[in-house]
Structure 1
Amino acid sequence: MEVLIIIALILAGLLLFIVEVFLIPGISIAGVASAICLLYANYYAFDELGLTAGFITLAASAIGCIGVTAWFMHSKTVDKLSLKKSLDYKIDPLKGLDINVGDEGVAVTRLALVGNADINGHIIEVRSADGLIDEKTPVYVERMIEGAVIVRKLK
């Protein structure tokens, strides 16, 4: 009877282990219950059946967890649960703004290569082509590259 109890506890622990690792990630009730089942099965084996049966149960529990994980990872179940799409969306910070090469504006912040400037009434992030530019310095748009606005001091 003790052997059946140990087998039932190990099977319940492994089932809850699968639920915890693959279905409900994080530390949840399934993970705690799995640990309790496996630990109690080992304790029960050591206490009721002796040292040899305890070590056999401990090995069976460890091999069971490793085996269930390996089997589940190689099965098609993980492929059904996994995300296969990738996002290729890029944000265009200049979308909807009427900013062109040659437009003039004022540096709102100090441009230590990157800062903010007010161009055509829009405060946007810009890059300096001249190095450091102090705030409230007139600037103009020299070029626009991949959504980045490059400015120079207005002379």
Structure 2
Amino acid sequence: MEILIIIAFIIVAVVLLLIELFVVPGISWAGISALACIVYANIYAFTHLGALGGFITMAVSAITCIGSLVLFMRSKTLERLALKKDITSKVNKQAEESVKIGDRGLTTTRLALIGYADIEGKIVEVKSMDGFLSEKTPIVVNRIDEGTILVEKQK
């Protein structure tokens, strides 16, 4: 019966270890639980099976954890879980092409650095160079950089 309990804890620890490494990012409940299961299985082995049983359990648990990690990494499971889609979308440059440096407008939303403005009758996303700007603040286009329209408060 003791051996079945030890085997169960080692299997649970291996499953939790794989979840920790490949599913849940960072140190989480899965990693802590896996460590607790391995430690408990070894302590249980030392107390119920003696020193020889404890050392055999330590060796088996280490080989099982490392072996399952290697087998999982070599299997096709990671390829099925991996994200393979490339990002093919591009920045919308219509606003950049329709707005020119020096154009004047009015903010339609609060610019908490980024927001929307009505420039020459077109609602476009803009970025403030003057920090936070309130809604309905007069602005002027200062610069256009890689699809981002940079504005400042009109003086």
Mark yes or no: TM-score above 0.5: yes
TM-score, normalised with respect to structure 1? 0.57
Equivalent runs, 1:76-115 vs 2, <5 Å: 76-92=76-92, 94-95=94-95, 99-101=98-100, 104-106=103-105
Pair 90,2 (structure 1): closer, same or farther in 2 beyond 3 Å: same
2:69 maps to 69
For 2:19 and 2:127, locate their aligned partners in 1 and report how far apart those are by CA, in whole Å.
48
Indicate the residue corresponding to 1:43 in structure 2: 43
CA contact (8 A) 2:106 2:118 kept: yes
**RMSD across aligned positions (CA):** 4.7
- TM-fit CA distance, 1:73: 0.7
Match of residue 56 from structure 1? 56
Residue 68 of structure 1 and its aligned partner are, at CA, apart by: 0.7
CA separation in 2, counterparts of 1:138 and 1:9?
A: 68
Question: In the alignment, is residue 125 of structure 1 matched against residue 126 of structure 2?
Answer: yes
Higher Rg: 1
Paired AA for residue 125 in structure 1? V
Structure 1: state its 5+ residue gaps: 109-113, 129-135
Any conservation in 1 of the 2:6–2:45 contact (CA below 8 Å)? no
Runs of 4+ in 1 over 6 A off after TM superposition: 114-117
Over 3 Å counting, the alpha-carbon distance change for 1:35 and 1:117 in structure 2 is closer
Aligned-residue identity in percent = 33
Provide, for residues 23-82 of structure 1, a one-character-per-residue CA deviation record: whole Å limited to 9, x for no partner: 753535x973x5554333212210012223212212321221122111101111211121
Aligned residues: 144
Question: Whole-Å Cα distance in 2 between the matches of residues 145 and 89 of structure 1?
Answer: 18
Structure 2 unaligned blocks of 5 or more: 108-113, 130-136
